[in-house]
Amino acid sequence: MASSVQNQGSISYLTQREAAEVDETLMGPLGFSVDQLMELAGLSVATSINEVYKPSEYNRVLAICGPGNNGGDGLVAARHLYHFGYKPFVCYPKRTQKPLYSGLVTQLESLSIPFLSVDELPMDLSKDFDILVDAMFGFSFHGAPRPPFDDLIKKLINLHYYEQAQRKPPVIVSVDIPSGWHVEEGDVGGDGIKPDMLVSLTAPKLCAKKFSGPHHFLGGRFVPPAIAEKYKLQLPQYPGISMCVRIGKPPQIDISSLRENYISPEFLEEQVEADPLDQFRKWFDDAMAANLKEPNAMALSTTGKDGKPSSRMVLLKGVDKDGFVWFTNYESQKARQLSENPHAALLFYWDGLNRQVVRVEGSVEKVSDEESEQYFHSRPRGSQLGAIVSKQSTVIPGRHVLHQQYKELEEKYSKESLIPKPKYWGGYRLKPERFEFWQGQPSRLHDRLEYSPQETDGKRVWKIVRLAP
């Protein structure tokens, strides 16, 4: 059995027989119920879709569900997609009279998700939907598709006939097997559906080797090692806590075509804080609440006396009325430039909120030695040693020198002993003279509000103006 499991690269592909056996083993000796596996499968499908097609752009989803478990996966996926912010519709023409399936239907009905009969579907699916989930047939498909699925499959094949230059055609996402394809041979006649995305479940089936669309995902982070061992399955690592993982090549796309259409709430003069620091804190809190990774990462741009700019990321470690603070090596390239020209600019980009705080511009000073000292000792011991080891921005012969010195220092400063802050390490503080807050909007008509200081009646106030996007 094991020898017949096919590999392409480092991933195993299952035959139809093996796929059914794995299923039986999961649901027999390994104690899974079909409900559980279907829930995990449907959730994997929904998360895979969300990785590639965001609900802001691809909102209307039609899940076309077949009579078997593949159809059940489609019903579960539709429910999760609803909760992820999509608008799902379901076409489920051959309902299975089992409590599992009627339960799934009830759950969808309770969310007011419309069920459309085959007759209610438009001839041309491209107008009403952004995503078509093909959950008609999975690994038990055999022979030629019978009605009404033959026509439904034709609708998916014919989609491109309706493609109009101005309209983005809906994408097809196939669950486990592109419906109508032979489970092992693939699209034998070459005239079957051509999904944009395939979400293989448990392990890809042989037909997946013939999939040439841009997005191949594997879902189902539930395969116990016993199954993987028994079938000598080589499966990829799932990232983080994700239910799915991209397999196969990442899409080869034309970089010039990469673009987002930003959709955000309005950002108006009336809503902003009078003090840009308060506005910054508000946006920083939003970035924290949105769970963005390292919202304190900022690009720092400096120029030396030659006037040639350089940028690099640093971490914001404090912000108050006196300015924005970060820590670094005082003998680094940025330090040299700052000693030649104290003017610098900071830039934050908060992807996920479509926001950047651009041009926090101002002059820079070193922070006090006590402040550097205090921050240095708050860092993990490893980072403290790292700061001693790294003669930042100098040329070194290889990684080994860093590790060698690190090991020596680790021995020198055992356990609790104080690691002295090197003289060449400390903080800088930028005192802002200008701020700009930018929020992305559709058609590149973004909001840009700029703060600059102004004297009014001998008092310094912040003037706010709107800039053209």
Ligand X SMILES: NC(=O)C1=CN([C@@H]2O[C@H](COP(=O)(O)OP(=O)(O)OC[C@H]3O[C@@H](n4cnc5c(N)ncnc54)[C@H](OP(=O)(O)O)[C@@H]3O)[C@@H](O)[C@H]2O)[C@H](O)CC1
Ligand Y SMILES: Cc1cc2nc3c(=O)[nH]c(=O)nc-3n(C[C@H](O)[C@H](O)[C@H](O)COP(=O)(O)O)c2cc1C
Residues that bind ligand X (CB under 6 A): 22-23, 26, 37-38, 41, 66-73, 137-146, 149, 175-177, 201-202
Least distance to K ion from the beta carbon of 239, Å?
Answer: 25
Nearest residue to 385 via CA among 416, 420, 415, 426? 420
Distance from C-alpha of 240 to C-alpha of 245, rounded to nearest angstrom = 10
Q: What six digits make up the tokens of 268?
A: 């108006």
- In the chain, the amino acid numbered 234 is Q
Least distance to ligand Y from the beta carbon of 397, Å?
Answer: 18
Q: Name the one residue in this structure whose structure tokens are 């799934």.
A: 104
What does the per-residue mask of binding to K ion show for 157-176, with x meaning CB under 5 A? Answer: -----------------xx-
The answer to whether 246 contacts ligand PLP (rule: CB under 6 A) is no
What does the per-residue mask of binding to ligand Y show for 319-338, with x meaning CB under 6 A? Answer: -------xxxx--xxx----
Among positions 315-334, residues that touch ligand PLP (CB under 6 A) are 315, 327
Least distance to ligand X from the beta carbon of 49, Å?
Answer: 15
Residue 138 annotated as binding?
Answer: yes
**Which residues are marked as active site?**
444
- Please choose, out of 132-140, 203-211, 269-277, 345-353, the segment that lies near K ion by the rule CB under 5 A: 132-140
In terms of CB distance, is 143 or 397 closer to ligand X? 143
Q: What six digits make up the tokens of 221?
A: 């982070």
Residue 306 annotated as binding?
Answer: no
The answer to whether 62 contacts K ion (rule: CB under 5 A) is no
Least distance to K ion from the beta carbon of 195, Å?
Answer: 9
The answer to whether 179 contacts ligand Y (rule: CB under 6 A) is no
What does the per-residue mask of binding to ligand Y show for 261-300, with x meaning CB under 6 A? Answer: ---------------------------------x--x---
The answer to whether 94 contacts ligand PLP (rule: CB under 6 A) is no
What is the strand order of the sheet 171-175 is part of?
87-91, 60-65, 131-135, 171-175, 197-201, 215-219, 244-247
Nearest residue to 207 via CA among 182, 175, 180, 174? 182
Q: Which does 294 bind (CB under 5 to 8 A by kind): ligand PLP, ligand Y, K ion, none?
A: ligand Y
In terms of CB distance, is 368 or 383 closer to ligand PLP? 383
Least distance to ligand PLP from the beta carbon of 419, Å?
Answer: 13
- Please choose, out of 157-165, 185-193, 306-314, 457-465, the segment that lies near ligand Y by the rule CB under 6 A: 306-314
Residue 179 annotated as binding?
Answer: yes
The answer to whether 341 contacts ligand Y (rule: CB under 6 A) is no
What does the per-residue mask of binding to ligand Y show for 358-377, with x meaning CB under 6 A? Answer: --------------------
Q: Which residues are annotated as a binding site for (6S)-NADPHX?
A: 69-73, 138-144, 176
- Using CB under 6 A, list all residues that contact ligand PLP: 315, 327, 379, 383
Q: Which residues are annotated as a binding site for K(+)?
A: 70, 134, 179
- Using CB under 6 A, list all residues that contact ligand Y: 294, 297, 310, 312-315, 326-329, 332-334, 392-393
